[in-house]
């Protein structure tokens, strides 16, 4: 009697790891980027060209984020939107208010050079950022529709607009119109998904599994921006800034979520990871403000470490929080 061929439970294994469907591809992408660019001095995806380049490197990142926004929007019913606005907007406002007030205090106390190897530029780029895509990967198995709708709000924190505007107070400001268009471009796929998903139930069903399909590729793309050698070269500064990042991004919103919104608190923890696009902000800020140019190089290396550390630790911190305070039915 012929036995059926043995199958490797790859997907099942990934799902046993916190945010594994995104984290494991992220780690693979980082290892390939480190081996090729860091050790061999070649860009594998540039050599292979499209579609491999757009599928596995950061060049296709915004396309997949747009698709993920659209798929997420199709799953949001009108009755869920009110709860999302009620829970998501206050959390984001609390988080950003704390981040920018502390950033201003950091500058007034330590100036552009900063302290402990952490420049003002690195501090701002870190504490004002949030990785909406990783949040979506973490929240997918247990979050309700309102939690998932927070994805678009959290992703706004990853865009360069707000930190560039803030850094613009310390020199020539970046183009407001250009950054405002980026915000609009981010919102439109989500709003289009909300509209179509509420107009036609079939559209909601067709795109229900879209997020699960996109997340592994998006994780790989985020990993392709990480050079592990550069990240660990900035170990002391990276460890200190990672700790500061977690304290500033989790504590204010977590206290608000628990005490004011009467929620378990996992949303605040699940959104506490650095976005890959944060690594591009120092260069953009330095172009707009020459006073920051001297700090851009070290800032990118430090942020690479923080990106690695927070993207690895965030899923495990969320799992620990879920054990303490399970989701509300």
Question: What is the secondary structure of 115-156 as a DSSP string?
Answer: BTTB-HHHHHHHHT---HHHHHHHHTTT--HHHHHHHHHHHH
Segment 124-153 shows an average pLDDT of: 80
C-alpha span between 277 and 182 (Å, rounded)? 13
State the chain's mean pLDDT as an integer.
82
Segment 164-193 shows an average pLDDT of: 69
C-alpha span between 120 and 321 (Å, rounded)? 31
**From the centroid of its chain, how far is CA 211?**
15
C-alpha span between 190 and 252 (Å, rounded)? 27
Q: What is the pLDDT of residues 191-207, one digit of tens each?
A: 899 899 999 999 999 99
The rounded radius of gyration (Å) of the Cα atoms in the chain is 20
Q: State residue 249's pLDDT score.
A: 92
Q: pLDDT band at residue 174, thresholds of 50, 70 and 90? A: very low
Axis-axis angle for helices 296-324, 20-33 (nearest 10): 160
Q: Is the bond preceding 7 in cis, omega lying within 30 degrees of 0?
A: no
What lies within 8 Å, CB to CB, of 113 at 6+ separation is: 119, 120, 295
Q: State residue 172's pLDDT score.
A: 47
Q: What is the pLDDT of residues 312-329, one digit of tens each?
A: 899 889 989 988 888 766
Q: State residue 19's pLDDT score.
A: 61
Examine the pLDDT at 128 and tell me if it is beyond 80.
yes
Q: Sketch out the chain's domains with CATH numbers.
A: 19-322 (1.20.1530.20)
Examine the pLDDT at 135 and tell me if it is beyond 90.
no
Kindly tell me the sign of the dihedral angle through the C-alpha atoms of 225, 230, 235, 236: negative
Closest CA to 74 of 194, 225, 159, 181: 194
C-alpha span between 323 and 173 (Å, rounded)? 45
Q: Would the pTM of this model clear 0.75, i.e. be above it?
A: no
Segment 136-165 shows an average pLDDT of: 73
Strands, E assignment, 168-279: none
Q: pLDDT band at residue 228, thresholds of 50, 70 and 90? A: confident
Q: What is the pLDDT of residues 16-50, one digit of tens each?
A: 765 677 778 878 888 998 898 878 888 888 888 88
Q: State residue 216's pLDDT score.
A: 86
Q: State residue 147's pLDDT score.
A: 77
Q: pLDDT band at residue 114, thresholds of 50, 70 and 90? A: very high
User: Residue 106 is encoded by which pair of tokens?
Assistant: 């950091």
Examine the pLDDT at 297 and tell me if it is beyond 70.
yes
Closest CA to 149 of 64, 88, 63, 79: 88
């Amino acid at each position: 009697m012929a036995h059926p061929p043995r199958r490797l439970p790859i997907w099942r294994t990934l799902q046993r790891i916190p945010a594994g469907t995104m984290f494991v591809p992220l780690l693979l992408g980082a290892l390939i980027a480190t081996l090729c660019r860091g050790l061999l001095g070649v860009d594998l995806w540039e050599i292979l060209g499209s579609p491999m380049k757009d599928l596995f490197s950061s060049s296709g990142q915004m396309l997949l984020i747009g698709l993920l926004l659209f798929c997420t929007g199709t799953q949001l019913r009108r009755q869920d939107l009110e709860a999302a606005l009620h829970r998501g907007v206050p959390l984001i406002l609390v988080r950003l208010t704390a981040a920018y007030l502390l950033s201003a205090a950091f500058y007034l106390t330590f100036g552009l050079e900063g302290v402990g190897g952490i420049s003002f530029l690195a501090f701002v780029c870190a504490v004002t950022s949030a990785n909406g895509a990783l949040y979506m990967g973490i929240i997918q198995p247990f979050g309700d529709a309102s939690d998932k709708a927070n994805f678009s709000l959290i992703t706004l924190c990853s865009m360069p607009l707000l930190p560039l505007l803030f850094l613009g107070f310390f020199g020539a400001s970046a183009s407001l119109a250009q950054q405002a268009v980026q915000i609009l471009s981010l919102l439109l796929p989500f709003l289009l998904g909300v509209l179509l998903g509420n107009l036609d139930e079939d559209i909601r069903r067709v795109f229900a599994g879209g997020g699960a399909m996109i997340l592994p590729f998006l994780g790989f793309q985020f990993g392709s921006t990480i050079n592990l050698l550069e990240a660990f070269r900035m170990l002391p500064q990276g460890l200190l800034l990672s700790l500061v990042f977690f304290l500033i991004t989790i504590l204010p919103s977590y206290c608000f979520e628990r005490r004011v919104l009467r929620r378990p608190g996992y949303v605040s923890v699940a959104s506490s990871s650095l976005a890959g696009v944060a690594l591009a902000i120092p260069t953009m800020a330095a172009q707009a403000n020459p006073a920051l140019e001297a700090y851009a190089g070290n800032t990118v290396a430090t942020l690479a470490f923080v990106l690695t550390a927070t993207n690895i630790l965030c899923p495990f911190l969320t799992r620990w929080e879920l054990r303490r305070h399970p989701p509300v039915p």
